[in-house]
Structure formats: structure tokens, C-alpha cells
């Protein structure tokens, strides 16, 4: 059977199966079988009793089925795939850790004097949460629980509040560590680190568009965002700015102190000495950095004690300490990736552990923890002696460090289980992670099977010849692809789109003349797949708000007050969808924006 007929049957079959409510994973797997039968053994359609007589079924374990099995197995056994459940687990823990509430309170303190400040705080909080976990649904739900009641209580325009929460909460598709970018990198064999780096500027550009829109709208229409009544005794104006500088100085002192201890360790142990030729120097970890970092820490401490004063520094710390935990998580995840310490998967694991530890720390105040440590000082000394020191003295074998690490983690887990909130949060997070990961894996299997079957049948070549043969200009072809992605995004989950459509579209884009892509600047050929990946993620950003099945609307509806209907929610999306399309246009007009940080 010719590939044109197969393509038509595939398109109609997919629309019909999704319309009747069949899950995407099952629909894709069923159509994969249909495509293989139509291409390699169409006789089975007329006479199923001929099973075993054709190319497809004559020799089990060989032919097209074997190629398909190898493709699915290779995808599911990719090491980076492990990072997805880890990031989902980390996002689930974040929802229950208290970190988000503390962060919102701190941001609100600094921005409360700005008209539309709570909406701006919501956008900034969404950016920080996206940089911590890269998950979309959890962000929208959490912002809906924390920010929506506050904005409605203060008299904010309902459409502005809804649009801000859902549009900002969907930024996880663009800002690293985005799961969408991870799946795209796996499917197209593109560097995930390069995708993360390239998406930084477009992601923050989109977030800044949201914030600018909020500020401009609330200045033009003050009734959309009434200013809250000032709290008696709360700093205002220049005094608040002075305290914010004090808080930033404290953060700088703490960050540089950690870097100073790190470079001091490298210098004492000799790890940064005698770097061979061709070996890159350790970033902020070479011997001469000791003096620079020591000077910065000394200057920061001088400002804190002699310029700002201890009282104002303590007050600024109390106002902004809710931002410290998110900064730590972002530093652990993105810092370990870009610092060359770990890969994506290990960074996800470290992020999950750091959030879990922080969730435990949030169960008591610092004085209570200090008292508990003093009370259990003998046990802590016994742990250091028995687990950390004595084994190093008595034993010398490979793997000792791993055993010590496992024992330490087991003891920490046992300790944290004594807190009911932590215990319940851990169990609930694990269950949610299992459900979400199971959904993604089944969609991945089905969509990978369908994409593989269509590829074996010659589908990508047929679609490429069809599109290129239409005699459209280069940007016209890319715009047609964008329209298809926008249309599919309104009806299909992003996992299915990246697995089904990207393997067809990317080879077509790679055949186009690179000098004709975009209107401003010229994209380097080696970054073409990276640019298209960022472009795809921006497209999926729009799909999260697109009616009739925009996921963000249903996430928010699950926690919104009863008087807010789905129609109200989609109505609030309209200006933000236009902003997303403007950001998408910037990527189309100026493709080299993705190269700025890569170069």
C-alpha cells in the first residue's frame, strides 16, 4: 500500500481515536500496528488467516518488528530518562515542603508597594519554581492555591489573576530544567545541556514580557490591581530599598563563602595544581581565586556590620529568608550541571534530596533545631566516629565511600520519618511520581512505536517531499509547521507531539537553506536542532493555554473557587496567548538569540 494512503488513514485514525477518548499511548500503539500491516502485509486486512505468510509475521523477532522493538528499547533504556521521574518527584516534594509559601511571603514583602505587585510576585515565583523542577501542572496548582485567593481578596481583576497564574505557571516548558527539552533531546539526539543553555534567554524573555504587560496594564487601569493598605511598621520606599541591598549583600557573602571553602579545599588537596595541557581550569576554583573570594567575603561582611548595621541586616534577613531555600535548590540543580560536576540525571537526584532535606528543616524553627542538636550531640559524635572516621582507618577497599553514603542516607531517612508531615508528604509524592511517570512512559512507548512504524514505512520522506514540493519559501514552510504544532497542541499532549511530529519535522528543517531561516542574523548550522527545539518548546508554551483542552485551565479549575468557570479561565488567557505568540515571533525572526549563551 502506498505511503500517501497510509498517511491519510493514520491522520484520520488518530483524530477519531482521540475523539472517542482512547488514551494517546494506546491509540498510538494500535495505529503503529495498523501502519506496519498496511505497509508490509496488507493481505492481513482482507484475510487475517494469512498470518505468518508475509514479511511482517513470517519470522518473529526479525524484520520491521525487530527494528521497532530495538527503537523502543533504546529509548526506554536511555540513562537520561531517569531524570524525568526524579524531577517529577522533586516538584511533588516542593508542593508539600513549605518552600513555595515562604518564597511567596518574602517576594510579597519586597513587592507589596508596587501596583500589580502580587501579580508580578506570582510571575517571579513561577520563574523560580520552573528553574527548580521544570514541571508545569504542579506550578499552576500551587500558584492557584497561594496567589489566586490573595489577588481576588485584594480586588484584582479576575482575568488578570487567572491569566498571570496559568501563563506564568506554564513557564516550566521553557526554563531549564524543562522536561519538554529533555524528551526533545532524547528523541533528536541533541545535547540536553545545549538545549538548557539556549532556552535561558527566550524563557526569561517570555517571563519579562508577562511582567511588563502586568505593570503596563495596571498602570493604565489602576482598578485592575488596587494597592493594599500599608502594614503599620513595615518599611516603605527608600528604606525598603536599603534593606533589600542589605539582604543581597548577605546572600553574596554566603555564596562567596561557599565558593571560598570550595577553592580552599581544592588548593589544600592539590586538585587545582599542575593542570595538564588541554584540561580546562576549574571555574572559580584555581589558587588565585582564593584571594579574590576572600576579599569579596571580607568586603561583604564589612558592609553588613559597619554600613547596614547588625539590626538592619537581621531585619532584612527576616524579610527575605524565604528566598534562600529556592536559591539553594536552583544552585544544586543548575549549578551542578553548568559547573560540570554532574550530568542531568545526577543533578535531578541531588535536587530531589536537597528539597527533601529542606522540607524536613521546615518542620522546626532554627532555635528548635539548635536545641535538638545539642540534646543529641553524643549520638552525632558516635555517628561521625563509627560511620565516617573508623571505617577509613580500619578498611581500605574500593566502594567504601559508597557504603558510607548509603548508611548516611538510610539514617537520614529514618530520622526524617519521625515527622508525620514529612512521612505523609514523601508517600504522597512517591505515589504522584509513579502515576505521572507511568503515564509518560506509556505515551512514550505508544508514540515511539507509531513514529518508528511510520519512519520504517517511509513517512518522513513522503511528508518532506510533500512540504518541500509545495514550492513555499523557507520561512513559509516553517510557519506551516508552527501552525500544525499549534493546532495539534490544542488537542494532544506535548509528549505525543514531540514523539510523533518532531521526528518528521526536524529532518525537513535540516534540509532547508540555513541562510534563509529568520530575518535578523544567521543561525549557525550546528545549532539548528537546538533552535528548533527551543522553538518547539515556545510552541508548547502556547498549547498549555490553548482552548479547548489547554491543560493549565483544568489544573487551575481543580483549585479555583466555584464561581470561576472554565469559560472564565480561558477568557483570562487571551492576552497572554498573544504575548506568547509575540515571543514565538521573536524566535522566528531572530534565530541567533539561542546562540548568545552557547557562544
| pLDDT at position 50 over 70 | no
Per the structure, the count of domains in the chain is 2
Q: Which DSSP letter does residue 80 get?
A: G
Residue 187 within any structural domain of the chain: no
Q: Residue 13 and residue 453: Cα distance in Å, rounded?
A: 15
Q: So what's the pLDDT on residue 410?
A: 86
Helices 192-220 and 324-338, interaxial angle, to 10°?
150
How far separated are the first and last CA of the chain, in Å rounded? 48
CA separation for the pair 547, 540 (Å, rounded): 13
Is the domain of 302 the same as that of 399?
Answer: no
Return the higher-pLDDT residue of 5 and 210.
210
The mean pLDDT value for 36-42 works out to 77
Q: Which residue has the cell 530495538?
A: 70
Say if 42 falls within a structural domain: no
- In this predicted model, what pLDDT tens digit does every residue of 384-443 receive, in sequence order? 888 888 887 787 777 777 888 888 888 888 888 888 888 888 898 899 888 888 888 888
- Here the cell at position 262 is 570550595
Residue 461 has pLDDT above 90, yes or no: no
Instruction: State whether 253 and 356 are in the same domain.
Output: yes
Q: What is the helix (H) or strand (E) element at residue 92, kind and residue range?
A: helix 83-97
SS (H, E, C) 201-226: HHHHHHHHHHHHHHHHHHHHCHHHCC
Q: What is the pTM of this model?
A: 0.83
Cell of 482: 508552527
Residue 286 has what DSSP assignment? S
Query: Looking at the structure, do residues 329 and 375 belong to the same domain, yes or no?
Result: no
Domain span at residue 251 reads: 238-273+280-362
Residue 404 lies in a domain: yes
Q: Is the pLDDT of residue 597 over 90?
A: no
Rounded mean pLDDT of the chain? 84
User: Rounded to an integer, what distance in angstroms lies between the CA atom of residue 394 and that of residue 388?
Assistant: 11
Confidence of residue 249 (pLDDT cuts 50, 70, 90): very high
Are 322 and 246 contained in the same domain?
yes
**Coil, strand or helix at 507:** helix
Last residue of a domain, one of 399, 418, 437: 418
**Residues 243, 337 share a domain:** yes
Domain assignment present for residue 385? The answer is: yes
Tell me, yes or no, whether 393 and 323 share the same domain.
no
Claim to verify: residue 285 and residue 354 sit in the same structural domain: yes
pLDDT of residue 579: 94
pLDDT above 90 for 205:
yes
Take residue 202 and report the three cell numbers written for it.
Answer: 527566550
C-alpha cell read off for 164: 498571570
148 sits in the region (left: phi over 0; alpha: psi -120 to 50; else beta) called: alpha
Is residue 390 a part of any domain in this protein? yes
Helices (H) and strands (E) in the chain, counts: 29, 0
The CA-based angle 186-190-195, given to 5 degrees, is 100
Residue 586 has pLDDT above 90, yes or no: yes
In the predicted model, what is the mean pLDDT of residues 201-217? 93
- H-helix segments, 221-323: 237-269, 289-302, 310-320
Q: What is the pLDDT of residue 277?
A: 64
Q: Which of 72-81, 147-156, 422-431 is predicted least confidently?
A: 72-81
> Percent of the chain having pLDDT more than 90?
12
My answer on whether 304 and 375 are in the same domain is no
Residue appearing with cell numbers 521573536: 586
- The CA-atom distances, in angstroms, between 361 and each of 44, 246, 331, 349, 377 are 63, 25, 18, 19, 18
pLDDT tens column, 480-506 = 889 888 888 877 778 888 888 888 888
Query: Both 292 and 346 in a single domain?
Result: yes
Q: Is 291 found in the same domain as 378?
A: no
Same domain, 244 and 290: yes
Which whole-number Å values give the CA distances from 516 to 202, 478, 521, 527, 586, in the listed order?
A: 21, 11, 10, 15, 16
User: What pLDDT is recorded for position 49?
Assistant: 56
pLDDT for res 534: 92
Cis before 447? omega within 30:
no
pLDDT, one tens digit per residue, over 513-569 is 888 888 888 888 889 999 999 999 999 888 888 887 788 888 888 888 888 888 888
Cα–Cα distance for residue pair 52/68, rounded to 1 Å: 18
How sure is the predictor about 276, in pLDDT bands with cuts at 50, 70 and 90?
low
> Higher confidence at residue 33 or residue 536?
536
Rounded to an integer, the average pLDDT of 587-591 is: 92
Is position 29 within any domain? no
Residue 347 has pLDDT above 90, yes or no: no
Q: Which residue has the cell 543548575?
A: 334
Is position 515 within any domain? no
* Cell digits of residue 364: 522546626
What DSSP character marks residue 170?
G
Q: Are 498 and 187 in contact (CB under 8 A)?
A: yes
Q: What is the DSSP letter of 176?
A: S
Residue 306: pLDDT over 60: yes
Band the pLDDT of 274: cuts 50, 70, 90.
low
Which pLDDT tens digit goes with each residue over 159-175?
999 999 989 888 888 88
Q: Do 357 and 380 fall within a single domain?
A: no
Please state the rounded mean pLDDT for residues 78-102: 84
Residue 477 has pLDDT above 70, yes or no: yes
User: What does R_g of the chain's alpha carbons equal in angstroms?
Assistant: 27
Among residues 402, 418, 434, which one ends one of the domains? 418
The predicted pLDDT at position 302 comes to 92
**Mean per-residue pLDDT for 271-285?**
68
Q: Is position 496 within any domain?
A: no
SS3 of the chain: helix, strand, coil, percent, to 5? 80, 0, 20
Binning pLDDT at 50, 70 and 90, where does residue 26 land? confident
- Which string of DSSP letters, residue by residue, matches 513-559? -GGGS-SSS---GGGHHHHHHHHHHHHHHHHTT-TTT-HHHHHHHTT
CB 444 within 8 A of CB 29: no
Buried-exposed string 125-135: b where 16+ CB fall within 10 A, e elsewhere = bbbbbbbbbbb
Confidence class of residue 455 from pLDDT cuts 50, 70 and 90? confident
Amino acid at each position: 500500500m502506498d505511503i500517501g494512503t497510509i498517511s491519510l488513514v493514520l491522520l484520520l485514525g488518530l483524530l477519531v481515536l482521540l475523539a472517542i477518548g482512547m488514551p494517546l499511548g494506546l491509540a498510538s500503539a494500535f495505529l503503529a500496528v495498523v501502519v506496519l500491516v498496511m505497509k508490509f502485509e496488507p493481505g492481513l486486512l482482507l484475510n487475517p488467516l494469512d498470518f505468518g505468510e508475509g514479511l511482517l509475521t513470517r519470522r518473529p523477532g526479525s524484520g520491521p518488528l525487530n527494528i521497532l522493538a530495538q527503537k523502543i528499547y533504546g529509548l526506554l533504556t536511555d540513562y537520561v530518562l531517569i531524570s524525568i521521574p526524579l524531577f517529577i518527584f522533586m516538584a511533588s516534594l516542593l508542593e508539600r515542603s513549605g518552600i513555595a509559601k515562604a518564597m511567596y511571603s518574602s517576594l510579597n514583602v519586597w513587592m507589596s508597594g508596587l501596583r500589580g505587585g502580587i501579580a508580578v510576585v506570582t510571575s517571579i515565583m513561577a520563574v523560580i519554581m520552573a528553574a527548580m523542577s521544570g514541571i508545569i501542572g504542579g506550578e499552576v496548582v500551587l500558584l492557584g492555591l497561594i496567589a489566586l485567593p490573595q489577588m481576588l481578596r485584594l480586588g484584582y481583576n479576575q482575568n488578570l489573576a487567572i491569566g498571570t497564574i496559568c501563563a506564568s505557571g506554564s513557564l516550566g516548558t521553557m526554563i531549564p530544567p524543562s522536561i519538554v527539552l529533555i524528551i526533545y533531546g532524547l528523541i533528536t539526539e541533541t545535547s540536553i545541556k545545549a538545549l538548557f543553555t539556549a532556552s535561558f534567554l527566550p524563557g526569561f524573555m517570555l517571563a519579562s514580557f508577562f511582567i511588563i504587560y502586568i505593570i503596563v496594564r495596571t498602570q493604565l487601569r489602576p482598578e485592575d490591581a488596587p494597592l493594599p493598605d500599608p502594614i503599620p511598621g513595615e518599611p516603605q520606599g527608600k528604606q525598603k530599598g536599603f534593606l533589600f541591598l542589605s539582604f543581597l549583600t548577605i546572600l553574596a557573602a554566603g555564596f562567596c563563602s561557599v565558593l571560598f571553602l570550595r577553592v580552599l579545599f581544592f588548593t589544600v588537596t592539590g586538585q587545582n595544581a599542575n593542570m595538564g595541557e588541554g584540561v580546562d581550569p576549574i571555574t572559580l576554583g584555581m589558587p588565585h581565586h582564593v584571594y579574590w573570594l576572600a576579599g569579596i567575603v571580607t568586603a561583604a561582611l564589612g558592609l553588613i556590620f559597619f554600613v547596614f548595621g547588625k539590626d538592619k541586616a537581621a531585619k532584612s534577613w527576616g524579610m527575605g529568608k524565604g528566598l534562600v531555600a529556592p536559591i539553594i535548590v536552583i544552585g544544586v540543580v543548575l549549578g551542578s550541571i553548568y559547573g560540570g560536576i554532574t550530568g542531568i540525571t545526577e543533578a535531578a537526584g541531588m535536587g530531589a534530596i536537597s528539597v527533601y532535606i529542606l522540607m524536613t528543616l521546615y518542620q522546626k524553627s532554627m532555635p528548635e533545631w539548635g536545641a535538638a542538636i545539642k540534646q543529641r550531640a553524643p549520638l552525632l559524635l558516635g555517628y561521625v566516629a563509627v560511620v565516617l572516621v573508623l571505617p577509613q582507618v580500619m578498611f581500605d577497599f574500593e566502594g567504601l565511600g559508597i557504603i558510607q553514603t548509603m548508611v548516611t542516607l538510610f539514617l537520614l531517612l529514618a530520622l526524617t520519618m519521625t515527622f508525620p508531615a514529612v512521612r505523609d508528604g514523601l508517600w504522597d509524592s512517591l505515589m504522584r511520581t509513579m502515576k505521572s511517570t507511568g503515564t509518560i512512559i506509556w505515551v512514550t512507548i505508544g508514540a515511539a512505536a507509531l513514529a518508528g512504524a511510520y519512519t520504517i514505512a517511509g513517512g518522513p520522506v513522503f511528508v518532506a517531499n510533500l512540504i518541500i514540493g509545495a514550492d513555499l519559501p523557507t520561512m513559509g514552510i516553517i510557519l506551516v509547521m508552527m501552525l500544525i504544532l499549534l493546532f495539534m497542541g490544542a488537542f494532544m499532549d506535548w509528549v505525543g507531539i514531540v514523539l510523533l511530529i518532531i521526528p518528521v519535522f526536524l529532518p525537513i528543517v535540516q534540509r532547508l537553506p540555513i541562510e534563509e531561516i529568520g530575518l535578523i542574523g544567521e543561525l549557525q548550522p550546528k545549532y539548528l536542532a537546538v533552535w528548533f527545539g527551543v522553538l518547539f518548546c515556545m510552541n508548547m508554551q502556547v498549547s498549555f493555554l490553548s482552548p479547548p483542552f489547554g491543560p493549565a485551565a483544568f489544573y487551575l479549575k481543580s483549585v479555583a473557587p466555584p464561581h470561576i468557570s472554565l469559560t472564565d479561565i480561558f477568557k483570562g488567557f487571551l492576552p497572554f496567548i498573544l504575548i506568547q505568540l509575540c515571543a514565538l515571533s521573536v524566535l522566528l525572526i531572530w534565530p541567533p538569540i539561542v546562540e548568545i549563551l552557547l557562544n
